[in-house]
Structure 1
Amino acid sequence: MIDRRFFLAGSAALAASGPLRAAQQASEPTTGSVVSDAPVFRTGNARWQAAYDKALDVLARNVRIMPYVSKPVLIEGSVYRGVWQECGPHEALLYRHWRPDVAVNSHMTFFDLQRADGQLPANNKETETGFGQIQMVVPIAATAWDLARATGDEALLHAAYSACSAWDAWLMRYRNTLGTGLVEGFCTYDTGHDNSPRWAGLPNQCPNKNAKQHHAIASLPRLCPDLSATVYGARRALAAMARALGKGAEADRWEDQASAIRRTILARLWSEGDAAFYDRDATGQFVRVRGDVLTRMCGEHVPDQAMFNAMWRHQLGDPAAFWTRFPLPSIAANDPAFVRPIPANSWGGASQALTAMRAGRWFDRYGRSAEFGHMMTRWCEAIMADMTFRQQIDPSTGVFTGGEDRPDYSPCALVMVENSWRLVGMTEEDDVIHWNIRPRHLAAREASLSRRTGKGGRAAMHYREDAAELSINGRALARVTGHARLVTDVTGHPVQLVGIERGTERVTVQLADSAPRTFRLRPNKHVPLN
């Protein structure tokens, strides 16, 4: 029995399944259209509007029908003609406001192509469906749960719970050969870290494209913190799915297993002296390369706040390491392994659009909303200066890598779209609306924005000179001057203010039928509104 308290209002999307399709169909965009109630973003800043509109155009053109699956999915774009488990479902989740059908299909592709033994494909490309590595980062269980919960899609919920439970069992059967309970990396592609010094000298793929095996190399297998974090995040999502399905005992089991793998990650793969997570190779040695593994651990909320604070102080927030002019490089800028000059498709130092796209999963969680705003603005500036939507930028200059890194990369387009809303618009998370108010921001110039809420309403923001006017379903909610995030429930009832600028802001909030209230809001400060 479905526990409907776990769902927001929404119409169920149809699960994707169907006959074999010819590979050549993948070369043409699909004819599907954006939903009529898609978000509306209008700004008087012509340069910003052009970048935003082009980003949506890139995404629309990257909706394709791939081999073996009869319904359209969002492909990676650029030179990547397919959908990858590490990122495709997450990208489609972000795109769901425009193409909810594509969001469901991009998950069901992996579930439909799952092998009988529980192995999910690493990818589905024009040329093949790949099973030669596990290649996971953001848990498909987590994005499927977010999507099912946001849309009320019971069919997706059932399919995801079954498929992701079997995937967890496969990983513990074939990627836990040392019996630690952690997930082992066998090759470079397992973590999607192409050309990274993390995997220097090791093979890209498993032997004979069999992800159950690794090459006979003394340092393999490795205990990988990010792969284990993915399983931790997946188990937390499976627990939530189980509760929604009325499976209380199974939910308890998933929560216990999630806690167990987190404890083991912290005990074996955290280096307190470096404030960093590292791989541990088969000889028991840390692979001391400081890379974006740290951001992936934050994305699944493995560190507690105290541990995160140490990571921020010594690594992520250090301008000499990861807080570069254009954050966040794939290898710390002061790590000897940083690769320069920066080649194409390099997880050896370039700041990657995928990392920027995933940042929304952790910055606010750890109380760094003000710094997140800075990072989002820098990425949008880099995109507007280039407009080709490629894979990666130089963390020092913001210049996109050309050459083999071709234009029209979906994650980069999603960075532009998602950042625009997180900077000067509304986002909805965990049954609350974040009204991100920045009247002085470039994107806010004479801006008018609206989008549907999970409860079926329509939230809107209109910028007037130094203020933003907020409404739900045409009902005035508030007028806010200064830069701040107003957090409300989905009906518009105020919850708190959050400081989202790196300096102290003078913020005035006038709620409907109330006198104005003025606050001095410090960076990342949370002020309850009763």
Structure 2
Amino acid sequence: MARFDDVLSRLRSAEPAFGVAFVAEGGPLEVRWRQATAELASCIRPVGDPGSDPILIEGGAYDGAWIESTGTISTDVLGRFAPEVVRATHLRFAAEQREDGLIPYKVIDEGPGFSQIQIVTPLARSVWNHYLLSGRADREYLETMYAAMSRMDAWLATYRDTRGTGGVEAFCTFDTGHDASPRFWFAPDRCFRGEASLWDPDAPLVPYVAPDLTANVACQRAYLALIAEELGHDPSPWRARAESTLAALWEQCWHADDEMFYDRDRNGELVRVASDVLLRVLACDVGDDDFFDRMLRKHLFDTRRFLSPHGFTSLAMDDPRFDHDFTRNSWGGPANFLAQLRAPAAFEHHRRAGELALASQGVLAALAVADRFPQTLDPWSGEAGYTQAYSPALLWFLDAVERWFGILPLPDGGVRVAALAPTRLDHGAAARAVGYRRVVGDSVWELAGDDEGALLFIDGAQVLELARGERATLTAAGEVVARETLRSVPPRF
């Protein structure tokens, strides 16, 4: 079509990165996309032995791989761009597993770390998604990871349920990565004596029965059931354990009057700090669609609570303890990119992509004009905060480009395309038109979009037209199986 001639011409001559190409007419997005892919490449390297397989590292101030972020939610996105790095990253954590079953919370050049657990995103889901995206062929990988995760599950059952509640306990702040959050005031940063199986007997509040850790294990066990079934094992014990853990989450951590998940301290009291624990729990597939809708309207889309112009905040904004210092590593207020990266798992699971798109626009605009890819943003201004070249921010940016105006492969073998071209971004970030290219199977797919809509081409032939705000799911052969128009409930003031 004539209106896309220029952008398609540039797209077809554009140099790809990580198997995809992106161009933008006007605005800073194309330059920032190139910067993101270059900095992501610098976040992939051998760790420890120079001859070992390159793995994803956290980047910025964190020169190594963390299981909670690098090894789980970040690999969920990276699998669409560098699947071989995802495989190597997962297998590295399994290889560094301790004899008693504990998977390290980090792997750095000096070796693995075991002073905390720090995992709130289900590793088994990341493993399962990678296995599916890779064509369901790598059984050796799946068997290795299944064995490692089964041993880790046994370790958690042995050491992280000291009160016999059925929940999973946090012994310290760093167990959940909630650094500087009021959630852990008067709790130690690290586990007792630097050992993840020990808690400080002199600490007045821990162990906490932690909602994010408990939800993680419930979801983890549900995916372990899928993997077990795939490998020919009986999945029913995993499903029973998942249900039991889920029941403990509701019994121990849910406050019905506040409609919020809280930690339960060692004295049996709830630690009533409203944080992004809610989003973490929802990202572990907890609750049905009606429950998600309630949480969305009451908390996530409330501008007094968690919905800022530039991302979901890490603490409720109406909490007087809210930390306005976005220049440091703080989960006490600023918008953190790990929280933004986890959000699609919750919103897409409940088919609320319209709301996710609305919440993403200010974050995308902020990153488009920032001078770096940071860990934190100022929720008010969008100004970049702590650190730089941070791989969760890099991957969030690449995911947002692909999710809203690109070509996104799905674990089930399908492909999703959307017509939400970034033509209405604030802060001078808007483009006039964009183009995206990816090889699917043996065919070249190209998407061109502007303020009116988008056209999809497969091997040069137009196969689909979308109006602005539409999204379509197709088979890998290019057959449309679903279309939707993305709409959102309004933010609550």
TM-score (norm 1): 0.83
| 2:260 aligned residue (276, 280, 303) | 276
Q: Partners in 1 of 2:239 and 2:313 — Cα distance?
A: 33
Counterpart residue type for residue 83 of structure 1:
A
Residue in 2 aligned with 1:117? 100
Q: Partners in 2 of 1:87 and 1:166 — Cα distance?
A: 20
Residue in 1 aligned with 2:359? 375
**Mapping 1:215-230, distance limit 5 Å:** 215-216=200-201, 217-230=203-216
Q: Residues 171 and 208 of structure 2 are in contact (CA less than 8 Å); yes or no, is this contact kept in structure 1?
A: yes
1:101 aligns with 2:84: yes
Q: Partners in 2 of 1:332 and 1:270 — Cα distance?
A: 17
Report the CA distance between 1:463 and its aligned residue: 3.0
The CA deviation string for residues 287-344 of structure 1, in whole angstroms up to 9 with x for no partner, is 0000010110111111222222221122111111101112200001001221234450
Report the CA distance between 1:465 and its aligned residue: 7.0
1:87 aligns with 2:87: no
Q: Partners in 2 of 1:85 and 1:269 — Cα distance?
A: 24
Residue in 2 aligned with 1:361? 345
| 1:482 aligned residue (468, 471, 485) | 468
Q: Residues 433 and 449 of structure 2 are in contact (CA less than 8 Å); yes or no, is this contact kept in structure 1?
A: yes
Counterpart residue type for residue 290 of structure 1:
A
1:41 aligns with 2:26: no
Residue in 2 aligned with 1:55? 36
Counterpart residue type for residue 434 of structure 1:
R
| 1:338 aligned residue (322, 331, 337) | 322
Q: Flag the 1:312–1:46 CA change in 2: closer, same or farther, 3 A.
A: closer
Counterpart residue type for residue 92 of structure 1:
T
Counterpart residue type for residue 53 of structure 1:
R
Gaps of 5+ in 1: 1-33, 505-522, 524-530
Q: Residues 37 and 451 of structure 1 are in contact (CA less than 8 Å); yes or no, is this contact kept in structure 2?
A: no
The secondary structure found in structure 2 opposite 1:363 is helix
Q: Partners in 1 of 2:49 and 2:131 — Cα distance?
A: 23
The secondary structure found in structure 1 opposite 2:349 is coil
Residue in 2 aligned with 1:202? 187
Q: Partners in 2 of 1:170 and 1:439 — Cα distance?
A: 47
Q: Partners in 1 of 2:250 and 2:113 — Cα distance?
A: 31
Residue in 2 aligned with 1:146? 129
1:237 aligns with 2:223: yes
Q: Partners in 2 of 1:311 and 1:273 — Cα distance?
A: 13
Q: Partners in 1 of 2:325 and 2:360 — Cα distance?
A: 25
Q: Residues 20 and 437 of structure 2 are in contact (CA less than 8 Å); yes or no, is this contact kept in structure 1?
A: yes
Counterpart residue type for residue 436 of structure 1:
A
Q: Residues 157 and 241 of structure 1 are in contact (CA less than 8 Å); yes or no, is this contact kept in structure 2?
A: yes
Q: Partners in 2 of 1:261 and 1:483 — Cα distance?
A: 39
Residue in 1 aligned with 2:481? 495
Report the CA distance between 1:109 and its aligned residue: 1.2
1:447 aligns with 2:434: yes
Count of residues in correspondence between the two structures: 466
TM-score (norm 2): 0.89
1:468 aligns with 2:454: yes
Q: Residues 439 and 481 of structure 1 are in contact (CA less than 8 Å); yes or no, is this contact kept in structure 2?
A: no
Q: Residues 187 and 204 of structure 2 are in contact (CA less than 8 Å); yes or no, is this contact kept in structure 1?
A: no
Q: Flag the 1:231–1:460 CA change in 2: closer, same or farther, 3 A.
A: same
Q: Partners in 2 of 1:131 and 1:168 — Cα distance?
A: 15
Report the CA distance between 1:478 and its aligned residue: 1.3
Gaps of 5+ in 2: 1-14, 425-429
Q: Flag the 1:503–1:348 CA change in 2: closer, same or farther, 3 A.
A: closer
Counterpart residue type for residue 137 of structure 1:
V
Q: Residues 191 and 199 of structure 2 are in contact (CA less than 8 Å); yes or no, is this contact kept in structure 1?
A: yes
Report the CA distance between 1:390 and its aligned residue: 1.0
Q: Flag the 1:353–1:36 CA change in 2: closer, same or farther, 3 A.
A: closer
1:302 aligns with 2:289: no
1:418 aligns with 2:399: yes
RMSD between aligned alpha carbons? 2.2
1:352 aligns with 2:336: yes
Residue in 2 aligned with 1:255? 239
Q: Flag the 1:110–1:37 CA change in 2: closer, same or farther, 3 A.
A: closer
Q: Residues 239 and 252 of structure 1 are in contact (CA less than 8 Å); yes or no, is this contact kept in structure 2?
A: yes
Q: Residues 269 and 280 of structure 1 are in contact (CA less than 8 Å); yes or no, is this contact kept in structure 2?
A: yes
Q: Partners in 2 of 1:440 and 1:174 — Cα distance?
A: 48
Counterpart residue type for residue 484 of structure 1:
E
Q: Partners in 2 of 1:343 and 1:418 — Cα distance?
A: 24
Counterpart residue type for residue 69 of structure 2:
C
**Mapping 1:142-221, distance limit 5 Å:** 142-151=125-134, 152-216=137-201, 217-221=203-207
Q: Residues 404 and 417 of structure 2 are in contact (CA less than 8 Å); yes or no, is this contact kept in structure 1?
A: no
Q: Residues 136 and 190 of structure 1 are in contact (CA less than 8 Å); yes or no, is this contact kept in structure 2?
A: yes
Residue in 2 aligned with 1:438? 420
The secondary structure found in structure 2 opposite 1:138 is coil
Counterpart residue type for residue 195 of structure 1:
A
Report the CA distance between 1:367 and its aligned residue: 3.3
Q: Partners in 2 of 1:434 and 1:242 — Cα distance?
A: 28
The secondary structure found in structure 1 opposite 2:374 is coil
Q: Residues 451 and 460 of structure 1 are in contact (CA less than 8 Å); yes or no, is this contact kept in structure 2?
A: yes
Q: Residues 471 and 483 of structure 2 are in contact (CA less than 8 Å); yes or no, is this contact kept in structure 1?
A: yes
Q: Flag the 1:503–1:175 CA change in 2: closer, same or farther, 3 A.
A: closer
Counterpart residue type for residue 124 of structure 2:
A
Counterpart residue type for residue 441 of structure 1:
T
Report the CA distance between 1:244 and its aligned residue: 1.1
Q: Residues 173 and 179 of structure 2 are in contact (CA less than 8 Å); yes or no, is this contact kept in structure 1?
A: yes
